[in-house]
Amino acid sequence: MRLGVLFSGGKDSCLALYKAMQEHKAVCLISLVSENPESYMFHTPNIHITKLQSGAIGIPIVMLKTKGQKEEELIDLKKAIAKAKKEYKIEGIVSGAVRSVYQASRIEKICKDLELWCFNPLWLINQGELLKEVLKNKFKTIISGVFAYPFDKSYLGKIINRKMVNNLIELSEKYRINPAGEGGEIETTVLDAPFFKKKIKVTGSKKEYKDYSGNFIIKKAELVKK
């Protein structure tokens, strides 16, 4: 089946894409660039890197801007998916939704309206297991945003390795946070994965942080051979 992938460039959308590729053909990525960092629907840290990730993966991308206003942003999402359907003849949509009923239900409605299949390969997966699966499949993933206590500035830009996964699971048990960031505690950016034909090298970045909230902003990056 020809699928379009809702793609933020983070670990969830990349893992969902990887799983979808096992049995289907992913023909395009779909990214919404939100002006609102508090968007209910869309990941915002380093969303501009999705274009570079598209080149690394070798799958074209449909990118649309949205003001990111609650509910209104769904109109822009529907436009982007409709554009992908027209240009790439997609038959379904892949979502990296894990536990957000708000996101999943709205994506499913849009798919129903556009007569597309909706595939959520990560739905209700245990978050600790999700992180372990990212490691098992050798994704190179960095933390691109933190938005909750007890995350300090030192987490920004850190690679999610085995030590970090154990740390996130420990924090989840101690502070009742979501280890994979399903409550918005952390955001991620994937720099390499098994299906990447090239990897992304960050050559310029900066950190912005205040009161347990901050971003690792990729200023410059390039594709390099694996």
Does one domain contain both 110 and 185?
A: no
Does one domain contain both 61 and 139?
A: no
Burial of 139 from C-beta contacts in 10 A (0-12 / 13-18 / 19+): buried
Here the CATH number for the domain that contains residue 196 is 3.90.1490.10
Does one domain contain both 139 and 94?
A: no
- Edge to edge, the sheet with strand 61-66 lists 61-66, 25-34, 2-6, 92-94, 117-119
pLDDT in tens, 9-58: 999 999 999 999 999 999 999 999 988 877 778 878 899 999 999 999 99
> Domain boundary at 83, 98, 119, which?
119
> Domain boundary at 77, 101, 119, which?
119
Cα–Cα separations (whole angstroms), residue 192 to 56, 140, 147: 8, 5, 24
Q: Which pLDDT value is given to residue 44?
A: 81
Q: Which pLDDT value is given to residue 114?
A: 98
Does one domain contain both 111 and 177?
A: no
pLDDT in tens, 101-124: 989 999 999 999 999 999 999 999
Does one domain contain both 135 and 212?
A: yes
- Of the candidates 87, 73, 79, 76, the one whose C-alpha atom is nearest the C-alpha of residue 28 is 87
Residues 6+ apart with CB under 8 A from 155: 143, 146, 186
Here the CATH number for the domain that contains residue 75 is 3.40.50.620
Pairing, β 2-6 against β 25-34: parallel
Q: What is the mean pLDDT of the chain?
A: 95
- Domain span at residue 74 reads 2-119
Does one domain contain both 59 and 139?
A: no
Does one domain contain both 98 and 170?
A: no
User: For the chain, how many structural domains are there in total?
Assistant: 2
Does one domain contain both 103 and 135?
A: no
